[in-house]
Amino acid sequence: MLEVSADAGKALCRLDEIPDGGARAVDIDSSTGGFSLILLRRGDQVFAYHNECPHAGRRLDWAPGKFLIKDGTVICAAHGATFDIPTGAVLGGPCRNGLAPVPLRVAGGVVVLP
């Protein structure tokens, strides 16, 4: 687990640790017990969301760090809600709300919280 504090500019991982067109999970330590993020890579762009589905609060992955990704969407492993990767908007399934985005940036091949 990569420890990240609440202050700015903390590294999450290297860009090349996220498969292009794929995703990985990153665990974030915090004073409230920590949480998981999904990092989705498209070329040099990375989109980050809380790894928690708005439908029933379950993790999006079917196993830790293993996500269902198809045709530019990420699919919740619990009940199949489908989300647009660049925006997090819900496209289908039992969910009414989109994913909660997390701002980040890529600098020097490293994905960091701004």
Give the count of residues interacting with ligand FES (CB under 6 A). Answer: 12
| Cα 88 versus chain centre, distance | 10
Non-local (6+) Cβ contacts of 107 within 8 A are none
36 is written with which tokens?
Answer: 């998981």
14, 66, 79, 105: residue in contact with ligand FES (rule CB under 6 A): 79
Q: Is 85 in the site for ligand FES (CB under 6 A)?
A: no
Binding range to ligand FES, per CB under 6 A, among 11-19, 31-39, 51-59, 65-73: 51-59
Rounded-to-integer distance, Cα 25 and Cα 111, Å: 13
Under the criterion CB under 6 A, does residue 81 sit at the interface with ligand FES? yes
Smallest separation, CB 93 to ligand FES (Å): 5
> CA-CA distance, 63 to 45, in Å (whole number)?
24
When the beta carbons of 4 and 74 are compared against ligand FES, the nearer one is: 74
Q: Does 55 bind ligand FES (CB under 6 A)?
A: yes
Min CB(81)–ligand FES separation in Å: 4
Amino acid occupying residue 59: R
Closest of 13, 32, 23 to residue 67, by C-alpha: 23
In the complex, which residues of this chain contact ligand FES (CB under 6 A)? 53, 55-56, 58, 76, 78-81, 93-95
